[in-house]
Structure 1
């Protein structure tokens, strides 16, 4: 069973909640906001993401946050408690991978800027080498996306929660803007074609009128 508050709220956080008067609300959250894995809502949300942010902690106790991006749906939901994605080759610093080797606990934030929605997840990460599980690689590799795979990461989800939309500025990708304006562009194309046809008909009428004037002269 998963309970986000029981992981997220330290004793210090609970004391601050008590001090400002929000403890009663979050105490109820800890008692009753219990789930047995991701629901269809989270699965759909994750399947439509093309990026996320992941925090790890290394031996120096400093958290490290890294952006991960790819084609929409590159993070795969294997089941309602397990996510997986291919780790693409990057700048070869390996900070995240190195941190996971010593501390598998990670935190993720996935954001849909157009919908001002934010999903937070706690998970335990496992590094799986490409040759160790070819079947998994075939299942999760975004083959149509240009990339160089280095390893796979499997995330055993421990808890999750949704954030409120406050202070999330709506942002849109080029593809989303193109999709939103597609009906207007189609309508403009139709109007331009209609305008061209009317001009041709007008020119034809004008030409016939000029011919009649010349004959009358």
Structure 2
């Protein structure tokens, strides 16, 4: 079974799969496995790296000390989410509304989930990880690695995410949406 499915399939999830008739399907998919860590969803490969580099935003979920989930959107220029190595992502955390909900949540529970979307091509990548927050002034070398010099946002923190597992999700029900930049590329490409 892939590492992602192994983490996601808790006893209550397995019971729901059994109840709704998908347990055998997921057992077959899980049995495919494979020794390759990329196939198992443990190490990011070239396809994941290219997909991540092409994103200009993603959804980030954390859980509060009271058990409530919190999801927020993180955005920036294309490529601001950086592949540090095959099992680590990083980004410069820009100053925002100053609520610090994710920052506080991660101090108590470092588990996060990232949801990366490519609406135009109907693709999505889900990632489980452990998030570490570093004050930008505390690690100038890392700040230089993660900061995009031409982006006019104030960097407050640096974020590293140790990837625990990832999974590509099916395109069903993803409505194609396009950014202005994507529409402009389509408009200027010859037919």
Length-normalised TM-score, structure 2: 0.92
Over residues 53-94 of structure 1, what are the superposed CA-to-partner deviations in whole Å (9 max), with x where a residue is unaligned?
Answer: 010001111000000000000000011100000100011000
1:44 match: secondary structure: helix
Distance 1:109 1:35, change over 3 A: closer
The number of aligned residues is 185
1:92 match: secondary structure: coil
Q: How does 1:1-217 map to 2 (within 5 A)?
A: 3-31=3-31, 32=33, 34-183=40-189
Structure showing greater radius of gyration is 1
Distance 2:56 2:104 in 1: 24
Distance 1:34 1:27 in 2: 14
Give 4+ residue runs of structure 1 displaced > 4 Å after superposition: none
1:210 matched residue in structure 2: none
Distance 1:75 1:146 in 2: 16
Distance 1:35 1:165 in 2: 18
Q: What is the CA RMSD across the aligned residues, in angstroms?
A: 1.7
Structure 2 residue runs without a partner (length 5+): 34-38
Instruction: Name whichever structure is richer in strand by fraction.
Output: 2
Give the Å deviation of 1:183: 4.0
Distance 2:83 2:146 in 1: 9
